[in-house]
Structure 1
Amino acid sequence: MSGPDIKSVFPMKNIRSLCFLKNVVVNPNIEIGDYTYYDDYNNPLDFEKNVLYHFDFIGDKLKIGKFCAIASNVKFIMNGANHNTNSFTTFPFGAFGGDWEVGLENLSGGYKGDTVIGNDVWIGYNATIMPGIKIGDGAIIATNTVVTKDVPSYSIVGGNPGKLIRYRFEQETIDILNSIQWWNWDIEKITEFIPVLTGNNISALKELIKSQ
């Protein structure tokens, strides 16, 4: 039992708007999990254009888990976008070199850390993820959302700024899903239990747990 070729760029026959990102991204500071895809009718191979202000000298990473679905125009704003708002001017003098390098010491607007997207996350069209954000497993980010705060697992967030709309399931179900972490199973096992994973029968999910 198996799914699509994990090494393929375009895993769907005759469809060239959707690609497996792990086989496309080349920036070592962008980490992509297995089977995560990006859908873009213009050019899905140019995903890295959506990772903005991502400068090597800062060293922050974008980490995206397995089995994520990322829609067109989703943008990730990285730490290089931050300006120092505590100084008298926000202009980044130090970045231009020469005698202006004396401004490097006060250049940073605050390092927010890596941006980390969990597993089985769906990010809708034109959403924007701000620097250092952590999005939990199974979360959904609605179209046009600007995510400015960390997102809990299995929650739905929407708006500008993004706010919690609701959780996808009861806490018992969330606890089970967080514990089994199905995305870490081998692909044969995932394939076997697709009928359970793509349904919403909590009894079937509990039976799956008992059978393990």
Structure 2
Amino acid sequence: MLHAIDIFPEVSVNNVHKMLGEMPQIHASCRIRNSKIGAWTALGPNTTLAESSFDDYSYTAGNVSIIYSQVGKFCSIANSVRINPGNHPQWRVTQHHCTYRRIQYGFDTSEDEEFFQWRRDHQCIIGHDVWIGHGAVIMPGVSIGHGAIIGSGAVVTKDVAPYEVAVGVAAKVIKKRFPDDTIEKLLEIGWWDWSRDKLVENFKDLLNMPKFLEKYG
């Protein structure tokens, strides 16, 4: 026998997608440390954000890990994405983390702060209006340009330019979303930096590319 379940837990249908606002919407299961989060943002369940910035209108679908990174505005980050996974010291005799988390193993009275700074120095930079698909991994030091798409399950080891689409392991660029002249105009317009009032007033223009370029380009 199959039981029909409309919604669980039982909440009002009107509250399933809670209205966003100036204060970030952060799920109770999230873990955040030394980070900055913009307005109209939403962090889904089990998102971790450490020593990073997460700009206006961006969201995570859940189970996302972000550390030592800058995430731009209007970014769509799917479930199980990892941005800047931990690097290990491949140049040492052993790459095990006992070489830098020394206190935990009783090898020293202080940690290897120089190594942790090395990790911080290899930030990931995610531009504006970037879509990162389910389960993708953005490796340390990689930059993703404005408007780019990263396919589900991709492992991105090299920079991706604005409006490029990259897929696979290791990720390769397979196409651009638009012709070069359109990309140039979009980057010049930089609509993601519009004020809230301008966005509200001209929102419908974002749905029609020819009209948008004619009006603002």
Q: TM-score, normalised by structure 1?
A: 0.71
Partner residue of 1:70?
Answer: 77
Query: CA offset at residue 172 of structure 1?
Result: 0.6
1:157/1:96 CA distance change after superposition, 3 Å: same
**Quick one: which of 91, 95, 101 aligns to 2:96?**
91
The amino acid of 1:82's aligned partner reads: N
Partner residue of 1:134?
Answer: 143
**Quick one: which of 141, 156, 166 aligns to 1:147?**
156
Q: State the identity as a percent.
A: 32
Query: CA offset at residue 146 of structure 1?
Result: 0.8
Partner residue of 2:212?
Answer: 205
Partner residue of 2:61?
Answer: 39
Cα pair 1:63 1:117 within 8 Å, conserved? yes
Point out the structure with the larger helix share.
1
Partner residue of 2:25?
Answer: 9
Pairwise CA RMSD? 3.2
Query: CA offset at residue 70 of structure 1?
Result: 0.9
Q: 3-state DSSP class of the match of 2:25?
A: coil
Cα pair 1:6 1:35 within 8 Å, conserved? no
Deviations 1:72-101 (A, max 9, x none): 1111234xx222222333234432234457
Q: 3-state DSSP class of the match of 1:82?
A: coil
Q: Does 1:178 align with 2:187?
A: yes
Query: CA offset at residue 134 of structure 1?
Result: 0.8
- Looking at structure 1, the residues matched to 169 and 93 of structure 2 have their Cα atoms a distance apart, in angstroms, of 28
1:171/1:108 CA distance change after superposition, 3 Å: same
Partner residue of 2:172?
Answer: 163
Cα pair 1:39 1:72 within 8 Å, conserved? yes
Name which of structure 1's ranges 104-113 and 192-201 shifts more when overlaid on structure 2. 104-113
- Looking at structure 2, the residues matched to 26 and 128 of structure 1 have their Cα atoms a distance apart, in angstroms, of 14
Name which of structure 1's ranges 93-102 and 81-90 shifts more when overlaid on structure 2. 93-102
1:153/1:92 CA distance change after superposition, 3 Å: same
Q: TM-score, normalised by structure 2?
A: 0.70
Cα pair 1:30 1:62 within 8 Å, conserved? yes
Query: CA offset at residue 192 of structure 1?
Result: 2.9
Q: 3-state DSSP class of the match of 2:198?
A: helix
Q: Per chain length, whose mean CA-contact separation is higher, i.e. which structure has more relative contact order (CA < 8 Å, sep 6+)?
A: 1
